[in-house]
Structure 1
Amino acid sequence: MSITLNYELIISSDNTYEELVAEIFFANGELVVVSQERSPDQFEVSFYSPRYRDSGNATAAALAIDLDAFVAALAEAKQKLISLGARRD
């Protein structure tokens, strides 16, 4: 079973960041921000849950991960599931 995620992608100049960021807003209220704050060669992805964002302390509640490491982890997880034949019907 595959779930389609509805989202809106906005490139913005947010006051929280020095560089431009890509903001991905999902229909369920989740927000993902892709930035280059550490360096022009290193992207970082930050996850914001609506329950934390509405608490008034969104920056402290954000989970920030190196984008390349995150993509690699997703690819590895996908390959392991494929190799193990993990499939639910």
Structure 2
Amino acid sequence: MPYHKDKQQSFQAAQQGTNDALEAYNSVIKEDADYGTQLKHLSEEVNEAYEQINNALENASETQRHRLEQYQRDLQKIVNKVNETDE
């Protein structure tokens, strides 16, 4: 039972980390004076979410694995959009 609980907790942490990164991305306003600070916060959230996802992938069920891979794609989209904006 503890293994199942750990698996679920790591999945939920990855899910929350991805949600936090998406919220940080949605709050970034390029014209804002704090844009650089917002980008730094976003970068930290994305990196933390990637780490949580990678941890969760170590013991994820097949269903969780598919969802975690989608989270990775979602995060990659954020990174790509930020990089396009900064060019």
The TM-score normalised by the length of structure 2 is 0.33
Question: Structure with the greater relative contact order (CA < 8 A, sep ≥ 6): 1 or 2?
Answer: 2
Higher strand share: 1
The TM-score normalised by the length of structure 1 is 0.32
